[in-house]
Structure 1
Amino acid sequence: MNVQLTTTAVTVLSGFVPSAVQATAQALLIADDRLVAVSHDITGIRDGIVLRTVRTATGILEHETVRIEHGCVACTLREDVVPTLARLAAEQPGRDLLLVLPHTIEPEAVATACGPLTEVRFDSYVTVVDTDRFLDDLVSTDDLRHRGLHAADDDHRTVADVVVHQVEFSDTVVLWSRPGSDRDHVDRLGALVHRLAPWAVQVPTGTTHSLDIGGLSTLVRGTRRHDPERPGTLGLALEGRAIGVHDPQTSVVFRCRRPFHPQRLHDALDELTADAVRGRGQLWIASQPDTVIAFESAGGGVSFGSLGYWLDALPADRWMEAGDQRRIAADLSWHPYYGDRRTALALIGLDLDHTALTGLLSRCLLTDDEVAQGFAAWRELPDPFEGCFPVQ
């Protein structure tokens, strides 16, 4: 007799407005009385105290205070979330799990922490967007600290950072609206969310007084939408994946093989991000031609980081360190002079001037005369970004 073992499926639920997230969680629990929800109250995390609750639609199974050694989100994920999911999968066979995240935890951090976990299968990462609040939070310049929501003393994230990262990492976005919500407003937000996460399936809850919880559950759970091999948003273009959707008014996607002049790019940053609620992607700067540079903007702030080395900057025997998809993408678009170096940048907003933004970015590139001087001369260009992108 063949016995087929089933793996516990986990749906991860995130969102910045707790009431909308909790309402969605309750609807999913009611739709399936065998579903078990796990949530953590991290209000006291800075003091090393976390409250874990495990429940079904009909009652609470666990309600325990957990002491976290270093009082940080990463420690909470490692010391309690991961072992709790593994334990429940063993104790509750045949029952799927709903991991309901605190509203300031980003789902990508969960995916990273739970990567080695083999006892469960992550079915979908779902983000709940409260259509009444989303736009205000997306354009907010508040830090989490301003609202008393920072998880640690060194947590300098903005509200907008958290909101966009939750949406961008999702496989499914629930557009949570209420009776009487303006349908045109909900539709406009849906279009904006699509610009932020074109890879995500949207599930609107409607604007009537009734909610089809069975339909919601069917569209959200058991979808197998999560691809554990999908890179983080900033690394999408390295694998030849779309970094955004082009739309003349709400989304500008800029691709170029020619590098940026470091000083001109630096001087243009304020103007570049003035009307964009979100910017993301990879770029390369002539003065640092070996490094893939990550670019992000949200909530009025701009940040840069390193995504490692361009393959063309590495000896061939190190190319296997990159994934298959990245090597294939590089091979398909290889340039005889620039190699795999390329900029792929998306700017997303509500009313963007495509012509002006494209022109501004183009003026930041090296001129023909500067390109002709070659790599050695580029490294000597004045560079306000010098030392900012160390490769780990």
Structure 2
Amino acid sequence: MPAVTVLSGFSPAATHAVARGLLADDQRLILIRHDLTGVRDGIVHRIVRTAGEVLEDERVTLVHGCVSCTLREDVLPTLVRLARAHPDRDQVLMLPEAVEPEAVAAATGWCLIDGAPVTDHVRFASYTTVVDAGRVLDDLTTTDSLRDRALHAADDDHREVADIVARQIEYADTVVMWGFGEMSLPVLLHRLAPWATHVPAAGFRPEARHRPGTPGVLVRGIEGYAVGVHEPVPDCGVVSMLFQARRPFHAGRLNDALNTIVRPTLRGRGHLWLANRPDTAIAWDSAAGGLSMGSLGRWLAALPEERWEEASEGRRLAATVEWDPYYGDRGNQLAFVGMELDAADLHRRLAACLLTDDELAAGEDTWKTWSDPFAGCLRVGENPVRD
């Protein structure tokens, strides 16, 4: 079964350079890439090549012009078709700069080709992100959106550049650094993706590092995985910290403090709970001064035990290990990374947003009557993991 290395990165020059190096090292590799410049008009340009020849160079018309449609209608079928035609040749799938590797991994879980899962035909060996050392810091700190750079995949694509770059790095099992940058960059990359293998471009060779059962970054905590590392002492100026607490946040105080929590950090991720929404696990996803929060579904503590089977085995195990007689599996687990970040001050700001002893003693019936600054933003889902 052919192995597929999924190659992502926000710098096309860097990703192309690494892809060319892989082809030069292994003449039997097949490289697949898609140009999405015309995707909003329903046109995708597909190029398939080896080191020595172009196998395909076609423009494909899609029924709907979007990234998920491209994955379903052309990218994944192409991998399967090539695997059938060349069963002894591994593949490198090079993603366009604005495509997140987690989207590809998710699509492989639900997209069927000729009635069978994609993984019946190819083995996804690695999700590798290429980082351009000369520009990644600018991309992680910019407030630009994809629309600002004419990279949006659809009219309703409002994603931010910093979000995309952070997610590409975080989802990777292998991070490849191309070129030269600030002395702090290797430390920063390790803090953003402590679970990944980090290698220079010159030493990169595809290896099978992907673990299909690993959850997405925002649900790592509730699935029993680490969301980051606690290194509050600056290393080349880089600081990372973990904030963990069982009692809930006061929605009003948290809302008032958002700017002072988000702006000093490059990246924040994890989950939390709000007192006035005691049944809902909430995702925290911040980058470059921007923040999004959304429902991850219900806490197991809010579900009858017979519905626990709807959650993954890993989540049930994590909940059992960490179960609290009062809070159940509810809790806050947030990771932050920043440059010259005052970890102690950030911890104090977050802790000040938690319920006081008197507020905690008032109980859930009282909490639910408090005003909700996040009304309309967080929908309560029925699925215990995802809406």
TM above 0.5? yes
> How far off its partner does 1:93 sit?
1.2
1:239 to partner: Cα distance: 1.7
Residue 32 of structure 1 is aligned with which of 26, 40, 64?
A: 26
Q: What is the correspondence of 1:130-149 to structure 2 with a 5 Å cutoff?
A: 130-149=132-151
Correspondence list, 1:313-392, <5 A: 313-390=302-379, 391=381, 392=387
Q: Which amino acid aligns with 1:317?
A: E
Tell me whether 1:112 sits opposite 2:96 in the alignment.
Answer: no
| One-letter identity of the residue aligned with 1:171 | D
Q: Which residue of 2 aligns with 1:239?
A: 223
Q: CA deviation at 1:299?
A: 2.6
**Match for 1:309 among 298, 320, 325?**
298
Cα distance between partner residues in 2 of 1:354 and 1:106: 29
Match of 2:112 in 1: none
Q: Which amino acid aligns with 2:215?
A: P
1:216 aligns with 2:200: no
Q: Distance in 2 between matches of 1:192 and 1:246?
A: 13
Q: Does 1:192 align with 2:188?
A: yes
Q: Distance in 2 between matches of 1:386 and 1:367?
A: 22
Opposite residue 43 of structure 2, the aligned amino acid is I
Match of 1:153 in 2: 155
Report the residue type matching 1:276 in the other structure: T
Residue 123 of structure 1 aligns to a residue in which SS?
A: strand
Query: In structure 2, what is the equivalent of residue 13 of structure 1?
Result: 7
Alpha-carbon distance in structure 2 between the residues aligned to 1:354 and 1:203: 28
Which amino acid counterpart does residue 35 of structure 1 have in structure 2? Answer: L
Q: Which AA in structure 2 matches 1:231?
A: P
The CA deviation at 1:301 is 1.2
Q: Which residue number corresponds to residue 65 of structure 1? A: 59
1:243 Cα deviation from its structure 2 partner: 0.5
Q: CA deviation at 1:352?
A: 0.7
- What CA distance in whole angstroms lies between the structure 2 residues aligned with 1:103 and 1:333? 39
- Contact 2:249/2:354, CA 8 A, preserved across alignment: yes
**Distance in 1 separating the partners of 2:35 and 2:249:** 45
TM-aligned CA deviation for residue 99 of structure 1? 0.1
Show CA shifts across 1:4-37 (max 9, x none).
Answer: xxx1100000000000000000000111000000
Q: 1:387: how far off?
A: 3.3
Residue 227 (str. 1) matches residue 211 (str. 2): yes
d(CA) in 2 for partners of 1:65, 1:50: 6
The Cα of 1:386 is off from its aligned counterpart by 2.3
Distance 2:209 2:283 in 1: 26
State the Cα distance separating 1:114 from its structure 2 match. 1.7
Give TM-score, length-normalised by structure 1.
0.92
**1: CA distance, partners of 2:146 / 2:75:** 22
Percentage of matched positions with identical amino acids = 56
Structure 1 residue ranges without an equivalent (≥5): 1-6, 206-210
- Please tell me the root mean square deviation across aligned C-alpha atoms, in Å: 1.0
> Is 1:167 paired with 2:163?
no
Q: Which amino acid aligns with 1:12?
A: V
Contact 1:158 1:299 in 2 (8 A): no
Query: Runs of 4 or more off by more than 2 Å in structure 1?
Result: none
Q: Distance in 2 between matches of 1:348 and 1:69?
A: 41
Using the alignment, how far apart are the partners of 1:61 and 1:358 within structure 2?
Answer: 55
How far residue 64 of structure 1 moved from its aligned partner, in angstroms, is: 0.5
Match of 2:198 among 183, 199, 202: 202
Instruction: Give the match for residue 92 of structure 1.
Output: 86
Matches of 1:333 and 1:48, distance apart in 2: 48
After TM superposition, the structure 1 = structure 2 runs for residues 230-269 of structure 1, keeping only pairs within 5 Å, are 230-248=214-232, 249=234, 250-269=239-258
Unaligned runs of at least 5 residues, structure 2 = 110-116, 382-386
The answer (yes or no) to whether the contact 1:159–1:299 under 8 Å persists in 2 is no
